[in-house]
Amino acid sequence: MRDLPEAPPLAVEDLTISHRGRPILDGVSFALNRGELCGLIGANGSGKTTLLRAILGLARPDGGQIRFGGGRRGRIGYLPQKVHVDAYMPLRARDVVALGLDGHRIGLPLPSAQRQARVAAALDAVSAEGFADQRVGTLSGGQQQRVFIAHALVRAPDVLLLDEPLASLDPSIAAEIAALLRRISQQMGIAVLLSAHEVNTLVPVMDKVIYLANRHAVAGPVAEVIRSDVLSRLYGHHIDVLNVHGRILVVTAPDAGAGTAHVTLLP
C-alpha cells in the first residue's frame, strides 16, 4: 500500500474577504509546503495583512477554505507588523520568548529545566543569546525582530506568518533577517509566509511568491509570477517588469488606472 502524500501545512482555497461591504480579496488560492519560504507581495492596501489575519482566525472570510496540515490553527507562529515595546518595560528578551511558550496559560510558571531549554534553543536559533538578558525595549529594530521570531518559533510551529517583518529595517539588516528566515524554514522544516511591499530583499531567499493586486493573487516561483504578461493580467492593464542592475522594478503607465498609476516595488 502506497503512503498518501503529506498534506501541506497551509492551504488556502478560493478565499474571499470583504470589509464593510468593500471586497478586499477574491478567489485567492495557494498552498505552502514544509521548509518553503514564501513572500506575500503587494502594494500597501492590497490585502496582505487581511489575508494573514484570516489565516490566523482574526478576520472572518466570506467564502473559501483555509486548511492546516496538522489540523489545528495552534501550530502557527506569528509576528505582527509592529510590536511597540516601551524601553522601560521590565521584560528581557528571554521573557518575551518564554511568553511565546506559555504566556497564554493561567497560573504561575513553575521553574523547569525543560522550559528554560526550549527558550534557550529558540534564542539560539535566531542568534539572540548575546542580548537575551537585556530589556527588549532597549534593543535595536533588528535585534527585536530576532527576539519576536524566537517568540514565534518557541512552540515549534508548522507555519510561521510574519507581517512586514523587514519594513522598518535598514537594507543590510533586512537582508540578514531574510537569510535567517530562509535558514529557519529549511533547517526546521517550517512553512514560512512573510508579507512585504518590497520584493528585492526576498528574491534571493524565496521559494515561492504570492503576488496580490486588484483583490486577486498569483502564486508560484518568482520567475513565473513576476513577469510582464502575468502581472498585466493580474492588474488588468499593461505592466512592465524591468531588471535594473539585478534588481526588479515593476512599473505601469501613469494613466493606467486609479490606485495603480505607478507601482514600484523598489525603494
Partner 1 sequence: MSFLIQSGFLQSGPVQHALIVGGIAAVVAAVVGVPTLIRGQAFASDALAHVSTAGGALAPLIGVNALTGFVLMALAAGGMLEAVPVRDRAERDLLTGIVLGAGLGLAALFLSLGVTLPGASGATVGVLFGSVFLLGADDLVPALTAGGLALVLLMAFLRPILLAALDPDLARVSGVRLRLTGAVHLACLTLAVGLAAMTVGAILSTALIVTPAATAIALTARPGQSLLVAAGLGLAGTWGGLLIAYDSYVWTNGHAWPASFCIVTALCVLHFGLTGGLSLLRHLRGGKVRR
- Asked whether 226 and 199 are in contact (CB, 8 A), the reply is yes
DSSP of 24-43: EEEEEEEEE-TT-EEEEE--
Task: Please state the closest distance from residue 234 (CB atom) to partner 1, in A.
Answer: 29
Stretch that binds partner 1, among 81-89, 167-175, 208-216, 244-252 (CB under 8 A): 81-89
Q: HSE of 59 in the Cβ direction (CA atoms, 13 Å)? A: 20
Stretch that binds partner 1, among 33-41, 51-59, 167-175, 254-262 (CB under 8 A): 51-59
Ramachandran angles phi, psi of 209, nearest 5°: -130, 140
Task: Please state the closest distance from residue 80 (CB atom) to partner 1, in A.
Answer: 5
Residue 58 binds to partner 1 (criterion: CB under 8 A): yes
The helix or strand, by DSSP H or E, that contains position 223, with its residue range, turns out to be helix 222-225
Work out the burial of residue 55: count CB atoms within 10 Å of its CB; fewer than 13 is exposed, 13-18 middle, 19 or more buried: buried
Q: Mask of contacts with partner 1, 89-118, x by CB under 8 A?
A: xxxx--xx--xx-xxxxxxxx---------
User: Which residue, 190 or 199, has its beta carbon nearer to partner 1?
Assistant: 190
Q: CA angle 6-7-12, nearest 5°?
A: 160
Residue 135 binds to partner 1 (criterion: CB under 8 A): yes
Stretch that binds partner 1, among 17-25, 82-90, 180-188, 231-239 (CB under 8 A): 82-90
Task: Please state the closest distance from residue 61 (CB atom) to partner 1, in A.
Answer: 17
- Which 139-168 positions form the footprint of partner 1 (CB under 8 A)? 151
Residue 83 binds to partner 1 (criterion: CB under 8 A): yes
Residue 20 binds to partner 1 (criterion: CB under 8 A): no
Task: Please state the closest distance from residue 60 (CB atom) to partner 1, in A.
Answer: 14
Handedness of CA 134, 136, 139, 145 (dihedral sign): positive
User: Which residue, 151 or 215, has its beta carbon nearer to partner 1?
Assistant: 151
- Asked whether 58 and 19 are in contact (CB, 8 A), the reply is no
User: Which residue, 97 or 206, has its beta carbon nearer to partner 1?
Assistant: 97
User: Which residue, 2 or 82, has its beta carbon nearer to partner 1?
Assistant: 82
CA 227 → CA 35, 55, 66, 94, 236, distances in Å?
Answer: 25, 27, 27, 43, 14
What gap in Å lies between CA 179 and CA 183, rounded to an integer?
Answer: 6
Query: CA torsion 26→162→109→125, rounded to 10°?
Result: 140
Where on the chain is the footprint of partner 1 (CB under 8 A)?
A: 56-58, 74, 76, 78, 80, 83, 85-86, 88-92, 95-96, 99-100, 102-109, 133-135, 151
